[in-house]
Structure 1
Amino acid sequence: MNALNKRMVDISDGLEDVPVLCKDPITPTFKYCPDNVQGPGCAVDPSEVTLPGCSCLSRSCCPESCSCLQTGGQAYHATGALLDLNRTGSDYSSPVFECNALCSCSDSCSNRVVQKGLQLSLEVFHTSNKGWGVRTLQQIPRGTFVCEYAGEVVSFVEARGRQLSQSAEENNYIIAVVEHAGSGSVTETFVDPTRVGNVGRFLNHSCQPNLVMVPVRVHSVVPSLALFAARDVRTEEELTFDYSGGCRKQQPAETTTTQSPAVAEASRPNGQQRKPCRCGAEKCTGFLPLDLSILY
C-alpha cells in the first residue's frame, strides 16, 4: 500500500476483499454490507441458496454440458469480462446465471465472477459539484466487473412508502429493476442502500456513463445488480452509471430490464421538479432521470 493509501480509511471496515478507501470523513448514516440483505416485504432471503447447481466436474464449465450456462447462456470470457455489454442497452436483455454454491465445478470456473465480490481498488471522494462520488485507483478494462449496487431488497409497497416519506432535500437511493421474461411474466426487484449498502451507493449518474448495470443471479432468485465497465476506464476516472438503465420501456418478446433512477433523484407526485444533471457529459440531457411509476 503506497503513502496515499496509508492516509485513507477503509469504509467497508474489512468486509470487502479489497479496501474501499476514503480520505474524507463520512458521517456513519448507513451500515456497510457487500451483499443484498432481506428488507421489509421481501419474501426471499438473498443470502439463501435457492437456485439449482450444475453437476460439472471440470475446472471450468462448458456451454455444451453445463445446466447453468444452458439456462442463461455463456456470459463471460475466459478472463471474466462480460461478453455482451448491450444486455441492458437495448429493448431486450437476457439474464446472467452464474454457477453457485451447489455446483460441482471449481471456484476457478469462468462462470463465477460477481460472486467473488470487489476485486478493484476504489476510492470514495468528494466531487466538486455532485457530493460524494467513486473513482478507480487503477485502470479497468472494458467488460470487467466493478462492483454491485447492494442494499436492502424491499417490496414495492415498502419502496413506495420510503419514497413518499422523504423530504425534497433527501437523496433517494432506490433502484427498481423490472425484468420481463415472456408470456406476461414480470419480476420486480427493489434495492435500497440508504440504511444498508455498499460502495455502489456513492456512484453518480452520467448521461454517458462508463459503467453498465446487469442483473446477475448467483445463488438466489434475487438478482445482484452488477456494474461492469462499459469501456476501458482510466486510473482516477470517476465511475458512473445511467440511473435510467438506458432502456426503453416496451412490451418485450424475450427478456428486458428497465431501471428507475437511484441516487439523488426523488420522484414525488406533487409537482416535483426534475433535478438538474451535473454529469458534464457532452450529450447531457440537462436533468436527472425521472420515473414516477414506483409511486402509483
Structure 2
Amino acid sequence: MEGGSDYNTIPQGPIDKTKVLDVKPLRMLYPMLPSKPEGPAFVCAPPDGPFPAGFSPFYPFIAPQNVPNASQNNHSNQAQTPASFASPIRSFRPPEINFSDVSNGDVGSSVGKNKHGKVPNSVGSGAGQKKARRRGVRHLVASSSEDFVVGLSSYEQDEGNRQVVNSVLTRFDALRRRLSQIEDAKESPTGIIRRADLKAGNILLTKGVRTNTRKRVGAVSGVEVGDIFFFRMELCVVGLHSQSMAGIDYMISRGDLEEAPVALSIVSSGGYDDDAEDSDILVYTGQGGNANKKDKQSSDQKLERGNLALERSFRRGNEIRVIRGMKDGASLNTKVYVYDGLYRIQESWMEKGKSGCNMFKYKLVRMPGQPGAFSVWKLIQKWKDNLSSRVRLIIPDLTSGAESIPVSLVNDVDDEKGPAYFTYFPRVKNTKSFRLTQPSFGCNCHSACLPGNPNCSCMQKNGGNLPYTANGVLVSRKPMIYECGPSCPCTPNCKNRVSQTGLRFHLEVFKTKDKGWALRSWDPVRAGSFICEYAGEVVDKVKSRQDGEEVENDDYVFDTTRVYDSFKWNYEPGLIVEDDSNHTTEEYNIPFPLIISSKNAGNVARFMNHSCSPNVFWQPVMFEQNNETFLHIAFFAMRHIPPMTELTYDYGIACSDEGNSDTDRKRKCLCGSPRCRGYFG
C-alpha cells in the first residue's frame, strides 16, 4: 500500500490485519475546513443550507468567537484540538429539515448573567419566601414571564458538573416540549419534517446554554454512567458526543512529530452491523461506505476520519466513551441513548458486510469497575421475557389486576414478605367534591379535542393549548390542568385524558436498606411523562380531628397545604418570541385544601419516598364527572429517569394553623442528596 492513491483503498483477497492498519495518517486525509467565519459564533440555519455569507456549513457546531481557545485553560497532559479543527466533522449529511415551519422568533438576543457571571438560582429565598408563605402561597416558583435568557459562565460552558448538566438538560427539554406543542397545533404540510429537538438544540447553542465544550478523552464532567438521553442533541449540549448525526466523535491530537485523530466517543444504535448483545464487549462497525443507506450503492469503507481515529486510538490505547441506542418500550419509533461508560479497543480488522463490501471492525472492551448500565437493560429484558427469573420476587402483581400493567413486589434486602396490609385502589375516593357554581358538561367535541379550537371548553380552560404533546408528555407545569373527563363526549383516546389512562410503565415496589419500601420503574421514563396519580381516601382535616384522628401522624398522606420547595421546570419565554398570554406561572392554584390518605387504600404512589432532590413532581388536575369537578394529584417525571432508579418526590413541610412550619412534626431525611435539608414532613 504505497502511494497516496492506494492509501484509502482496501485490497481484495486475504488480508494481513497488521499491515492494513499499521499506517501513518497523511495530511491529505484531513477534511479541509474553511477559515474562521466572521460574525456571530452560530447561525440557526437548515443543515444543508442555504447559509449566509461568512458562515461555515458544518452543522451544528461552530467554535464561539467570544470564548478563549480551549487550549489556553486546559491541563497540559490533555490532547487538544487545533484552532483549524475546532468544529467537529460530520460523516453523513443530516436529512433536510424545514425549520421555517416552527415559530422560533429571535434567537440572537443577548445572554443575561448575574453579577458573578453564573446562572442564578431560579427560586426565591429568605424574606421573599417567608412573605409569600404569610400570604398563604404553598408552592413558590420563580416567575416564568421573564423575557431574558440566563446563559452559563465561560467556565461552566467549558467544564460542567452534575448540577450544570442537569440544568442544561432541563432547559433543553423544556424548550423542546414547548416547540413540540407549537408544532402539534399546526397543520403539517406534506413532506415537512418537524424536529423540535434540533430546533431547541440550535437555540440553546446560540444562547451559550451548553457545557463541556472542551473536547476531552475519557469521562465527561457531570455525566454519569447509566444516564439516558432521548435525543442526540442532548448528547451534544452536555458535551458527551458532539456529532449530531455521525456515530464517531474525535479530535486532532498534536504529537511531537505529527497530528493524528483520536476517537473520543461512539454511538452504537443499530445503523450498522454492530455486534452489541454482550454487556461488556461491543464489536463496532466503522463509518462510511453507505453501508446503511438503502437508496445508495454500497462501497468499501475507507481509512479516514472516524475510522482513522479509531485505528489511532487502538494503537494509543486511550479510553473511548460508548453510548448505546436502545429501543424505547413506550414508543417503538424512538430510541433511548444510554451512556455505557468507558471502553478500550482490543482488536481491529476488516471483513465483508451484508452489502458485500469491506468494512472496518473494532472490538471494544468495557473498562472494569464501572456501574452497570447496558447490563441493567439486558437483565430487565430477561425479567420481562420470564418473570420467574426475577430473583427475590415476592408477588408478580400486587395490584391483583387493578392496573393494566402488573406491579411486582421484591425484597433484595431482608426476609420481610411485604408491606403492611392495605387495599389496592387505583383512584382517589372523594367523600365530597368541588361542585361548580354553574352546571357544566365538559366539552362538546365528538372526536378528538384539538388545540386552538374556540368551541372546545376544555381547551379554553387550558389557555387554548393542549397541555400535553402528541405523545402524551406534559409541556409545562400550570396552576391547574383541565382534562376531558367522563362528562365529555370526545373519544376515549383524546390526548387530553393523559392522567386517566392508568400506568404506562412497568413499576416495581422494592425494599430499601433504611427507608422501608420504595418504587422504581423497569422502563426508562422521559421527562414530563405521567407516572401515576396519588390514590387514596380524601380526608376532612377538621372532621378527622373531631374523631380523634391525627392526619399529621399518617405516614401515607398527601397534603396540598404543605409548603413545598420551589423549582423551575417550564421553558424560558426569552428563548422564543410569542404572545405574553402563553406565559404561565408555575405557582399552583388549589381551589380548596386537599388531603389524601393512602394508609388503608391506595395505589403505587403510597410507596414513593421523599427526596430533597426529587425526580418526580406533582401537578393538580381537574376533570368533570356527573356534572361535578373533581381534583386529582398527578405525578410526572421531572427529568429523564433511567431504569431501576428510585422514584421520589418532595413531601413538603407541614404548617401549623398560624401558617408557620411545625418543627415538632419534622422527620429526619435520609435521601442522601447533596442538597438535603435534613428533614421533611
Task: Give the equivalent residue in structure 1 for 2:409.
Answer: 22
Tell me which moved more, 102-111 or 9-18: 102-111
Report the identity percentage.
34
Determine whether 1:113 maps to 2:113. Answer: no
Is 1:173 paired with 2:173?
no
Partner of 2:396: 9
C-alpha separation in 2, matches of 1:273 and 1:94: 28
Richer in helix (by share): 2
**Residue number in structure 1 paired with 2:605:** 200
Please, which moves more after superposition, 18-27 or 57-66?
57-66
Shift, 1:118, TM fit:
1.1
Distance 1:14 1:172 in 2: 25
CA contact (8 A) 1:32 1:197 kept: yes
Residue 274 of structure 1: how far off its partner (Å) = 2.6
> CA, structure 1 residues 215+186, in 2 after alignment: closer, same or farther (shift >3 Å)?
closer
What is the 5 A alignment of 1:75-94?
75-84=467-476, 87=477, 93-94=478-479
1:226 aligns with 2:670: no
Q: CA-to-partner distance for each residue in 1:89-143, whole Å, 9 max, x for gaps?
A: xxxx421111111222222211110011111110000011101100111100010
| Residue in structure 1 matched with residue 518 of structure 2 by the alignment | 133
Q: Structure 2 length as normaliser, TM-score? A: 0.34
Q: Deviations over 1:32-82 (max 9, x none)?
A: 1000113xxx32399xxx862211133343232311111133311111111
CA change 1:171–1:104 in 2 (3 A) is closer
- Distance in 2 (CA, whole Å) between partners of 1:275 and 1:139 is 31
Q: Partners in 1 of 2:521 and 2:548 — Cα distance?
A: 30
Q: TM-score, normalization: structure 1?
A: 0.75
Match in the other structure for 2:664: 272
Residue 489 of structure 2: aligned partner: 104
Asked if 1:151 is matched to 2:533, the reply is no
CA contact (8 A) 1:61 1:109 kept: no
Structure 2 match to 1:265: none
Deviations 1:161-198 (A, max 9, x none): 688548x9x652221225975xxx94111100001111
Change (3 A) 1:106 1:234: same
The whole-number CA distance in structure 2 between the counterparts of 1:120 and 1:162 is 39
Contact 1:180 / 1:186 at 8 angstroms: preserved in 2?
no
Q: CA deviation at 1:152?
A: 0.2
Match of 2:448 in 1: 59
Amino acid at match of 1:3: N
Q: Structure 2: state its 5+ residue gaps.
A: 1-383, 412-416, 562-586, 656-660
Closer, same or farther: CA 158–71 of 1 in aligned 2, 3 Å: same
1:255-285 CA distances to partner (integer Å, 9 max, x unpaired)? xxxx859xxxxxx97x736321011111111
Identify unmatched segments of 5+ residues in structure 1.
Answer: 88-92, 245-258, 262-267, 290-296
Counterpart Cα distance in 2 of 1:187 and 1:15:
29
One-letter amino acid of the counterpart of residue 68, structure 1: C
Identify, as 1 or 2, the structure richer in strand: 1
Aligned residue for 1:215, secondary structure, equals: strand
Aligned-partner SS, 1:187? coil
Paired amino acid for 1:31: T
Q: Which amino acid aligns with 1:123?
A: E
Aligned AA for 1:16?
E
**Match of residue 252 from structure 1:** none
1:186–1:148 CA distance, 2 compared to 1 (3 A):
closer
Larger radius of gyration: 2
